[in-house]
């Protein structure tokens, strides 16, 4: 992994020291990830044993929930598959109701390396950002998606950058960190189906500050991607429609007491 050296080293110890003062949680959405979810939990603990971990089991039929519970993670088992949007919002509701200060999203499939969390957390902890996204395209990443994927990624990046009036390179990354404001917003309102792109736009519309930092992602450790070739047309249409309609909605800055 020679490329990793090009990513500027985050002030890891400073971030971890600051983190130790906060109530922090890692939200791990997982659907049939028995091969990887245990390792993901271990790696988060390796970085910072004080991280609470909640695994949202989105209707797995394998041992995902059992493995996560054996490792001492909180496990929320959804009674049936809600899709990644509904699963993530469950995690944010958990984080909101239990009063967490900062939350990170780490996929249960192992593609996100928890060792890179300090880089993503840094802008949130310093107060520069309310939401920080780990981007595969912001810096010298070795990630080379297929042609069709590249077209989609470019299109989303261009559309989202124009809508939020800020350069955004990776709109579909689910490797993110948010502060309490972000937790409150996502607990109250989170997009369905394919949520990352819309969640990014939603944040900026609600006057939350968005940052991107470069990260490396790994190959998926197991399971299957939720986006197959057939679904990608539906995916693109649905997300573009949602962004377009979203332009005509009014937004308010979220308030802590607004819901429950």
Q: Which of 21, 15, 196, 29 is nearest to 123 (CA)?
A: 15
Of residues 9 and 247, the one with the C-beta less far from another protein: 247
Of residues 82 and 129, the one with the C-beta less far from another protein: 82
Q: Determine, following the binding rule CB under 8 A, whether residue 61 of this chain makes contact with another protein.
A: no
Q: Which of 126, 166, 237, 255 binds another protein (CB under 8 A)?
A: 237
Q: How far is the CB of 191 from another protein (least distance, A)?
A: 9
CA–CA gap between residue 223 and residue 256 (Å, rounded): 37
Q: Which of 14, 20, 241, 253 binds another protein (CB under 8 A)?
A: 241
The 208-227 site mask, x for binding another protein (CB under 8 A), equals: --------------------
Q: How far is the CB of 18 from another protein (least distance, A)?
A: 38
Tokens 């890179």 identify what position? 116
Strand order in the sheet with 102-105: 74-77, 52-57, 24-30, 102-105, 176-179, 131-135, 210-214
Residues near 232 by beta carbon (within 8 Å), at least 6 away in sequence? 148, 152
Instruction: Count interface residues toward another protein (CB under 8 A).
Output: 12
Of residues 63 and 192, the one with the C-beta less far from another protein: 192
The 80-119 site mask, x for binding another protein (CB under 8 A), equals: x---------------------------------------
Q: Determine, following the binding rule CB under 8 A, whether residue 234 of this chain makes contact with another protein.
A: yes
Of residues 80 and 147, the one with the C-beta less far from another protein: 80
Q: How crowded is residue 101: how many other Cβ atoms within 10 Å of its Cβ?
A: 16
> Are 16 and 48 within 8 A, CB to CB?
yes
Of residues 82 and 106, the one with the C-beta less far from another protein: 82
Q: How far is the CB of 52 from another protein (least distance, A)?
A: 24
CA–CA gap between residue 133 and residue 172 (Å, rounded): 9
Of residues 39 and 238, the one with the C-beta less far from another protein: 238
CA–CA gap between residue 27 and residue 62 (Å, rounded): 19
Q: Determine, following the binding rule CB under 8 A, whether residue 242 of this chain makes contact with another protein.
A: yes
Q: Which of 21, 49, 61, 79 binds another protein (CB under 8 A)?
A: 79
Q: Determine, following the binding rule CB under 8 A, whether residue 251 of this chain makes contact with another protein.
A: no
How buried is 198 (Cβ within 10 angstroms: 0-12 exposed, 13-18 middle, 19+ buried)? buried
**Near another protein in 184-203, by CB under 8 A:** 192-193
- Contact residues: another protein, CB under 8 A: 79-80, 192-193, 234, 237-238, 241-242, 245, 248-249
């Amino acid at each position: 992994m020679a490329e990793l050296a090009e990513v500027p080293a985050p002030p890891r110890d400073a971030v971890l020291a600051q983190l130790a003062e906060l109530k922090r949680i890692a939200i791990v959405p997982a659907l049939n990830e028995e091969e990887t979810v245990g390792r993901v939990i271990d790696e988060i603990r390796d970085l910072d044993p004080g991280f609470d971990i909640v695994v949202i089991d989105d209707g797995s039929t394998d041992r995902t929930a059992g493995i996560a519970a054996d490792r001492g993670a909180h496990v929320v088992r959804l009674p049936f598959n809600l899709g990644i949007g509904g699963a993530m919002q469950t995690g944010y509701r958990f984080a909101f109701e239990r009063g967490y200060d900062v939350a990170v999203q780490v996929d249960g499939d192992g593609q996100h390396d928890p060792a890179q969390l300090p880089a993503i957390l840094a802008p949130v902890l310093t107060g520069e950002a309310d939401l920080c996204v780990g981007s595969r395209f912001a810096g010298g990443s070795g990630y080379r998606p297929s042609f069709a994927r590249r077209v989609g990624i470019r299109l989303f990046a261009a559309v989202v950058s124009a809508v939020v009036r800020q350069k955004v390179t990776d709109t579909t990354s689910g490797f993110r960190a948010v502060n309490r404001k972000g937790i409150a917003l996502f607990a109250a309102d989170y997009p369905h189906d394919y949520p990352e792109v819309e969640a990014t736009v939603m944040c900026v519309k609600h006057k939350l500050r968005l940052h991107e930092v470069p990260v490396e992602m790994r190959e998926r450790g197991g399971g299957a991607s939720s986006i197959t070739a057939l679904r990608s047309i539906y995916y693109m249409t649905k997300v573009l429609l949602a962004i377009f309609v979203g332009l005509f909605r009014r937004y308010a800055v979220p308030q802590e007491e607004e819901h429950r």
